[in-house]
Amino acid sequence: MSAAPGSGLFDLSGLFDLSGHVALVTGGNSGIGLGMAHGLARAGADVCVWGTNAERNAAAADELAGHGGRVAAVCCDVGDEEAVAAGFAETLERFGRVDSCFVNAGVSGRITPFTELSLTEFRRVMRVNLEGSFLTLRAAAAHMVERGGGGVLVGTSSVSSIQGSPRNQAYAASKAGLTSLLQGCGVEFARHGINTHSLLVGWTETPLASDTLHNETFERNVMRRMPQRRWGDPSDFARLAVYLAGGAGGFQTGDTIVVDGAYSIF
C-alpha cells in the first residue's frame, strides 16, 4: 500500500532541531528580530543578522554566540539595492547557504494627519519596510531556487495592515504590501519547496514601540483591550521562528499568522 501524502511528517524526531540550518534575520540586532535570532540560535541554527548600527550588531552577535553556533552580523541598509546584494554575498561567503530568511528590518511611521502626510515621509517608510523587504526577499528567493532544496521566507508585517490606522497610513500600507508580496511568492515558489509566511504583529515591546506603549494615556486606553493584559515581547517570537524555519507546518504556506495576544479579535 502506498504511503499517504505527507506521511513522512509523522516522524517527529528532531522536529525542532535546526542543526546545520542557516538563518538570515534582517533587523536582527534588537526587538522582534533579535528575539527570533535567539530562538533560531538556541535551536542549533547558524544565524546571520543584518542591521545598520554596527555597535548593536556586535552586541547582538555576542549574545547569540552564547548559544554555541556560528554567528555573524552584517551592516546593511536594506533600502539600498547595492547594499542588499553585497550583504547577501557576504552572508553566503560566510555560511555557504541561506535556508530561511526573516525580513524584519523596518521603521515606524510618524503620526501625521493624512492630509498633511508628505510624499517624502511616505517614501521614507516605504523605502525600508516595503522596498527593503522586496530587495531582501528577491535575493533570498533567487538563491533558494538556484540552490534547490527549498527554503522559508518570513516577513514581519502588522495588524495595522488589516485594521484602520488613522494618521499612520504609510506604515500600514507598507505592511499590507509586504503581506501581499509574500502571498505572491508563496504561490510562485511553491513548486520549488519554498514556503512563505507573513506575521501580523500586534503591540510588542520593542525600541520602536516603547515610547508609545508606555505613554500613560495610550496604555490606559489600549491595555484594557488586550485579553492577555500585557504587551508582546520579542521572546514571544523565538519559538515561532523555529517552527517556521524548520518547516514544521509542512503544507502551510502563503499564510498570515496573527501574533497579537488576541487584540485584533477582542
Hey, which residues are catalytic here? Answer: 171
Q: How far apart are CA 9 and CA 29, in angstroms?
A: 33
Q: What are phi and psi of 73, to 5 degrees?
A: -125, 130
SS3 217: helix
* DSSP letter (8 states) at residue 198: E
**Helix H or strand E segment including 200:** strand 194-201
- C-alpha cell belonging to residue 210: 516603547
Calpha distance 34→40 (Å, rounded): 10
Q: State whether residue 146 is helix, strand or coil.
A: helix
Q: How far from chain centre, in Å, is Cα 147?
A: 22
What SS3 class is residue 48? strand
Between CA 21 and CA 15 the distance in angstroms is: 13
